A and B are shown apart, each in its own frame.
Chain A
Amino acid sequence: MAKMTLEQLRILREEKKGEMIKRDVEGKNIQIIVGMGTCGIAAGAKQTFDEIVKSIDEHSLNADVIIRQTGCMGLCHVEPTVEIVMPGMPATIYGKVDAATARDIVVKHVVGKTLVQNHIYDRPAVDIVKN
């Protein structure tokens, strides 16, 4: 994109805000967000990420799922962390997600719409931007 004017920045913000609220990116409504800060990567987030990509591929979910990365959400003691946002399920943060757990999450949570035992953690704080 070329340099913006004030007007263009405002339009872009409103447009993207809508996308973030709907959590609907490029027509895909399931988001899998992997924490890729230094702590996450050190704990194996890259392997987790790859396993999710593979697993999503195997279940032919590519049309519905977008896999994103984000920074550290503060839960360093349970890295790697993965958040799943999808219709019909509460937004869920999983911790200590190794490759096997990543597969489990795709099969049980994304496909089966059930939560995976023992790996759920709490979002540390409310979102001040939304409030």
Chain B
Amino acid sequence: MAYKHFILVCGGTGCESSRADDIYKELKASAEAMGVQDEVQIVKTGCFGFCEKGPIVKVLPSESFYVEVKPEDAKEIISEQIVKGREVKRLLYKDERQKDRIKVEDIGFYQKQYRIVLRNCGIINPENIDEYIARDGYAGLEKVLTSMKPDDVIEELKAAGLRGRGGAGFPTWRKWMFSKGVESDQKYVVCNADEGDPGAYMDRSTIEGDPHSVIEAMAICGYTVGSTKGFVYIRAEYPLAIERLKIALQQARDYGLLGDDILGTGFSFDIEIRLGAGAFVCGEETALLQSIEGNRGMPIPRPPFPAVKGLWGKPTIINNVETWANIPVILTKGSAWFAKIGTETSKGTKVFALTGKINNSGLVEVPMGTTLREIIFDIGGGIKDGKKFKGAQTGGPSGGIITEEFLDLPIDYESLTSLGSMMGSGGLIVMDEDDCVVDVSRFYMEFCVDESCGKCSPCRIGTNQMHAILVKITKGLGTMEDLEKLEKIGLAMRKAALCGLGQTAPNPTLSTVKRFRQEYVDHIVNKSCVAGKCKDLVVFSIDKAKCIGCSLCARKCPVNCISGDKAQKFTIDASKCIKCGECFKACKFSAVVKK
């Protein structure tokens, strides 16, 4: 006999520790005591997020979402809900604040996420255009072609308040209006899918999961600004995304949604794919356009902006994947709907790729104005292994580290910029107490040294100099003057570099020098790295009081620098030690000390 109800008890580590197991047992016992064990299946699940509010219990099919459940509540859940069919109201999740912010009164949902860009990801088959069409796909294009003038589309985007998701947040409508206003025999529409930030993969996932949303949006743009030709510039490292995009383009052509005389309206538009070779700088719009033209990918000074003078000197609209994916929904559901979501200055949602020392890494899409705390602790399930949060890096090598004191700041373009970080493309790397900020800054600077195109000297020389100083500090050779130099060079690069890459390359360093100054000073003055990451500053030794002489550390040591007789105290020869930390990990008695 089939079950009528299902009770899901969250079995994530957070909830386990808050007695999820007892709840599970109590629920089973209560179900048996009341004779309903054949009607309800009680199962343990994976982590539901929301660990702060755990333990979580969810009842299906009624979708009741209970939080902070105690074992004593089990009886009531069974007797009220399973026997009598009534929800246990006092345990239901309420979040008035969230509801108020999104202002979508008719959705009484408990999730912190709100998916506009990722609306179809994980739901449709990306290789089947029919499934996209079934979910209002190409309805935006249809509406635009049949009932809107180009100016109406721009007005709609203006009312929606959509801003570019690729970095700086330039209003999309304004870009389109510039391009529309220029007389030209040809104009171009370009999708920037050259996602290069370490740790960011939302554009890849969007194209892999919902390629038609980008195609539809580009066609809408073509109609609006008067262009018949589009390019998607995507990096060759994304083979699956490229494959699915190719399939989608062909299906759209077969259906007459791309090509000549689309849907019999007389409007023609088609899209070509251009593969990038993976240079970070080609994500910068002017360098990207150079690359499409077949030139070496190097930025050129703006103005003129691409919207006026871009590909082959023609007006060119270039937007990033996430920006494009917003557009079809704005047109089908209306600007008023979109403008209700988010904050005063930043409308809609933002997709983040949540990675690093976080329990539930993954793609999350949240309304603008969501706090970092909600993203990391409610959705991300908190820091791995119960460690302490240290900071979160947004915007990759162009962004900065946000510290604990700003966890409750609503995130939007302005708030991130005010913290010396930026929205960037949306990589969000979480760091814990074991991460050293000097080492992290050095890593990002090394990335920028590698990826600097070398055209302008502030970036070419500045990144190298800053990197050299950071390396010096991680080796314990830094001086206090070096800190001043870092700030001086960084500020000069911000002002003088040619493109966004160079102007923002100092951000990770500048933001950490400001917010974690003490840690830099520790490296310089005390020659110590609290996180234990900077090998040159770490010394391993054995605490004689704790060592029992098991010899495990000596057997693990790859360079045989630990010696001693069995059952006697062991010692580490610091002159041979390569500081791999194997002995530290191996010791079961915490006798190996890292300082």
Contacts and interface: CB of A to CB of B under 8 A. Distances in A.
Contacts of A1: 254-255
Given A35-B122, A68-B125, A69-B125, A121 B48 contact: yes
A5 B256 CA distance: 8
A125 B43 contact: no
Interface of B: 2-3, 6, 8, 11, 41, 43-49, 58, 60-61, 106-107, 109, 111, 113-116, 118-127, 130-131, 133-139, 142, 145-146, 201, 204-205, 208-210, 238, 240-241, 254-257, 259, 263-265, 329, 333, 359-365, 379
A77 B240 contact: no
Interface string A98-116: 0000000000000001111
Nearest to B251: A1
A48 B109 CA distance: 31
B114 A70 contact: no
17 contacts: A3-B259, A5-B263, A6-B142, A16-B130, A16-B131, A37-B208, A37-B240, A38-B240, A70-B122, A74-B362, A74-B365, A77-B359, A113-B3, A121-B45, A121-B46, A122-B58, A128-B333
Contacts of A9: 133, 138, 142, 255, 257, 263
Interface of B is mostly: loop
Q: Which 6 A-B pairs have the closest CB atoms?
A: A71-B209, A73-B122, A3-B256, A16-B134, A120-B45, A125-B113
Contact of B136 (A13, A76, A95, A115): A13
A58 interface: no
Contact of A117 (B43, B49, B120, B122): B43
Nearest to A37: B208
A69 to B, nearest CB: 6
Contacts of A39: 201, 205
Interface string A1-38: 11111100110110011011000000000000001011
Most chain A beta-carbon contacts within 10 A, residue among B49, B113, B205: B205
A13 B257 CA distance: 13
Interface string A74-86: 1111100101000
Contacts of A95: 46
Interface of A: 1-6, 9-10, 12-13, 16-17, 19-20, 35, 37-39, 41, 68-78, 81, 83, 88, 90, 95-96, 113-129, 131
Contacts of A16: 130-131, 133-134
Given A16-B130, A114-B41, A131 B122 contact: no
Contact of B362 (A77, A83, A114): A77
A126 B263 contact: no
A38 B46 contact: no
Contacts of B145: 6
Most chain B beta-carbon contacts within 10 A, residue among A19, A39, A76, A129: A129
B208 A74 contact: no
A25 to B, nearest CB: 9
A72 B139 CA distance: 23
Most chain A beta-carbon contacts within 10 A, residue among B58, B121, B138, B139: B121
B45 A118 contact: yes
Contacts of B359: 77
Contacts of B137: 13
A41 B113 contact: no
B209 A129 contact: no
B134 A19 contact: yes
Contacts of B47: 121
